[in-house]
Amino acid sequence: MSFRQPSVLPGFGLTFGFTTFFLSAIVLLPLAALALAAASLHWSDFVHVVLSPRALGSYRLSFGASFLAAAINLVFGLIIAWTLVRYEFPGRGLIDALIDMPFALPTAVSGIALTTVFAHNGWIGRYLEPWGVKVAYTWLGVTLALTLISMPFAVRAVQPALLEVQRDLEEAAETLGAGRIYVFRRIILPAVLPALLTGFTLAFARALGEYGSVIFIAGNLPMKTEITPLLIVIHLEEFDYQGAAALGVVMLGISFVVLLAINLLQAWGRRRHVRAAH
């Protein structure tokens, strides 16, 4: 009995074999090597590395700043996407192109640019300093850098959902006397909610793994402005490869949970779209 399904396209065995080989060589083998390197540590040493006060401080900053940056992009990403989708104005194409700038810009350049602007003698930082507001070399600077880097993920996730919102439902609701807030809350928001959650999760995942832009504006003070990716690099510079692998395994596990959440949100959004279509 054969379980092979007939296909119009030939070459499934060859393409599937190439796909498996490529993913194994590029993704699975490096991750397996990372897990094996961490497994060579004794359990007590592993716990000592991943639960040290310095590591816990880096977790708090990395996860806290990433969550705050994703929340900021959740709000402002929706506003930006709404503006680009619903309105026609001069320079719209330029603004739409600028959204993708963090994709192409090297993260180190982003960090240097932010430091130039928000340092105590920077273009904006010099005016914030008299008010007691310090951005560079504080958790605010870390959050600002993560917000910049992860912004395109939130905007690009919401834009297609806004394009698919049925305008005739909005017009019908307004014809029946519904206000703008009611239309947004009962028609628009439910339609874009899965995309908003996906954008939030993608922005959070991107911010969580950021390194280049943060090290320039954070100051990298242990227990204060030191993120987990930087702590991994410090372990590598000290030739503590097992300690770096242990922290890497922690980040790997968290990344897996985030990716699982993304897939679940996307599946939920597809089910809602199918139910709405019927």
* Domains by residue range for the chain, with CATH: 43-277 (1.10.3720.10)
Q: How far is CA 240 from CA 35, 57, 190, 245, in A?
A: 15, 19, 49, 9
* Global confidence as pTM: 0.82
Q: Decide: 100 and 152 in contact? Cβ < 8 Å.
A: yes
Give the length of the chain.
278
**Rounded Cα gap, residues 115 and 220, in angstroms:** 13
Judge whether residue 221 has pLDDT over 90: no
Confidence tier at 145 by pLDDT (50, 70, 90): very high
Structure tokens of 76? 């402002």
pLDDT of residue 32: 87
pLDDT of residue 163: 83
Q: Tell me the per-residue pLDDT of 59-95, one tens digit each, with 9 for 90 and over.
A: 999 989 999 999 999 999 999 998 998 888 888 889 8
pLDDT of residue 65: 93
pLDDT of residue 4: 56
Q: Decide: 49 and 41 in contact? Cβ < 8 Å.
A: yes
Nearest alpha-carbon partner for 163 in 199, 195, 203, 202? 195
pLDDT of residue 197: 84
pLDDT of residue 16: 84
Residues 6+ apart with CB under 8 A from 125: 117, 118, 119, 134, 135, 136
Judge whether residue 7 has pLDDT over 70: no
Judge whether residue 259 has pLDDT over 60: yes
